[in-house]
Structure 1
């Protein structure tokens, strides 16, 4: 479990940032499109931050393959949510072209978690 501690700490930071970006979207952004990007990024960040904790729990219960999930989810947050946050804050629109890479990392992470849990004989 000790090797998962940095991933869990990173997930807590993601949760903190997701709440902050979500609050900023609600109270500090007036452009509707930017507000939508910020909310979407915050929602996906919080869900996948919590997913890191779920994966850590699965690892602690012996689902060793779930060790792949935290880096996949956190990279997904950085790319998916990060690109949306950047665009909402005035970054170039071409960043939208990399957003699906983050989404793909989320999908791979969920698939890896499912496989790891299916391979685990019992909890």
Structure 2
């Protein structure tokens, strides 16, 4: 995975997070409050944005530590986490399709795997010194 690809993915996800967050706070707020889903929507945006920033940091780390092969796992964990965790919550909030809540934890698992990939890279790097 090229560091520039990771950074560009982070930039796109970050821009989308800001757009969705602003739309939710202004255009969708009455609907989300009426459905009782405002907090869920805000959680989706938070995790989306946190992991967009984490992807940006990952891209920088990939420039510095290109030998850390586990960064590919981290990239895919964060990317799939955003798509599955935040994406399922966005769709749930906007459509009311409640069964989507059943797949949201899969996105959480992807986030965890991403963070563990980062841990693994640091561990392997420490072991090689």
TM bin (shorter chain): 0.7 to 0.9
Higher mean C-alpha deviation, range 109-118 or range 53-62: 53-62
SS in 1 for 2:74: helix
Shift of 1:91: 4.2
Asked if 1:34 corresponds to 2:33, the answer is: no
1:57 matches 2:56: no
- Consecutive unaligned residues in structure 2, runs of 5 or more: none
Map 1:87-106 to 2 at 5 A: 87-106=92-111
Q: How much does 1:96 deviate?
A: 0.6
Aligned residue number for residue 9 of structure 2: 10
* Count of residues in correspondence between the two structures: 121
Which residue number corresponds to residue 47 of structure 2?
Answer: 44
Alpha-carbon distance in structure 2 between the residues aligned to 1:115 and 1:72: 13
Q: What residue in structure 2 maps to residue 116 of structure 1?
A: 121
Aligned partners of 2:51 and 2:78 also within 8 Å: yes
* Aligned Cα root-mean-square deviation (Å): 1.8
State the secondary structure of the residue aligned to 1:88.
helix
How far did residue 102 of structure 1 move? Answer: 0.2
The answer for unaligned runs of 5 or more in structure 1 is: none
| Aligned position for 2:81 | 76
Deviates more, 1:46-55 or 1:100-109: 46-55
